[in-house]
Amino acid sequence: MNHGVSSRTTGAALTALLTLQALPCLAVDQVPVADTLTSLSTQAGFEVVGLEHAKDAYGRDEGGATYPRLRGLLEDFNHVIVQAPDGGIDRVILLGRKTAWVGPPPAEGKGAAEGAPGETPAEPAGDLVIATERRGTAHVVNASLEGEGGKRASVSLAVDTGADSVVLPASLIPALALKPQALQQREVQTANGKATARVGRLAGLWFGDQKIADVQVSFIDDAKLGGNALLGMSVLGRYRMTIDDEANQLTLSPK
């Protein structure tokens, strides 16, 4: 069965509600993020890590079910929402406020037509169909990461709309020729204890010969990450998404 854009939840701890259709923009009051998040965590029984990042911040609260409320409330934050096997919320991790990233300028004397380093390739023009593997109830895709200077590394990523960004093991930082000092450090709580996340950008994420450019990623120590790597909303949020359980396919369609 092809579930379409509104896919039913699989119930896995690392897979989240697969509903990415844009909702109408409604006028809602701004509420204190820290206070509202604390209230929601008490009501729903989940843990909040990094609440200090929400000090004096305001966000929107449209009411309704807990998961969409959290997505709206935390839209200005880098965050991870970890769901429990029963579909509830297990943990919310705030990594910090979102900040704009400016890519490197084109090399002197070169323009976009010559493939200047600062050029951002166009996103795939049509549907991007990606084969998935099933690991338990999770869908996993194979991808190639592009770091500095064209350095590449292969990785398997669990599809997780609860993760605000692509989440990777820290051991990939040197393989991708990234400069550790250029990554922003954030203290986070993982299932295996406290960890330091280093947040940065990749030049691209490749599925076969299709490149998705300028991707936000969060690196976490391998042991703390527990062997997982996640394909999160810094990629998935750019598209309408369809999961086909029977065909084992992920389809990303331009919005």
Q: Is 174 found in the same domain as 90?
A: no
Q: Is 173 found in the same domain as 84?
A: no
Q: Is 241 found in the same domain as 140?
A: yes
Structure confidence at residue 85 (pLDDT): 65
Q: Is 222 found in the same domain as 148?
A: yes
120 — pLDDT class (breaks 50, 70, 90): very low
Structure confidence at residue 72 (pLDDT): 85
Distance from C-alpha of 228 to C-alpha of 206, rounded to nearest angstrom: 19
> Is residue 111 assigned to a domain?
no
Taking a C-beta distance cutoff of 8 angstroms, is the pair 190, 196 a contact?
no
Q: Look at residue 249 and tell me whether its pLDDT is greater than 80.
A: yes
Please name the helix (run of DSSP H) or strand (run of DSSP E) that holds residue 186, with its range, or none: strand 184-190
> Is residue 52 assigned to a domain?
yes
> Is residue 138 assigned to a domain?
yes
Q: Is 54 found in the same domain as 155?
A: no
Q: Is 52 found in the same domain as 145?
A: no
Q: Is 142 found in the same domain as 77?
A: no
**How many domains does the structure of the chain reveal?**
2
pTM of the full predicted structure?
0.55
Q: Is 169 found in the same domain as 206?
A: yes
Q: Which domain holds residue 154?
A: 124-254
Locus of tokens 């369609």: 253
CATH number where 156 lies: 2.40.70.10
pLDDT tens, residue by residue, 66-93:
888 888 898 887 666 776 667 678 778 7
Please choose, from the candidates 130, 159, 163, 143, the residue with its C-alpha nearest in 3D space to the C-alpha of residue 250.
130
> Is residue 1 assigned to a domain?
no
141 phi and psi angles, rounded to 5 deg: -120, 150
Structure confidence at residue 95 (pLDDT): 64
Q: Is 92 found in the same domain as 132?
A: no
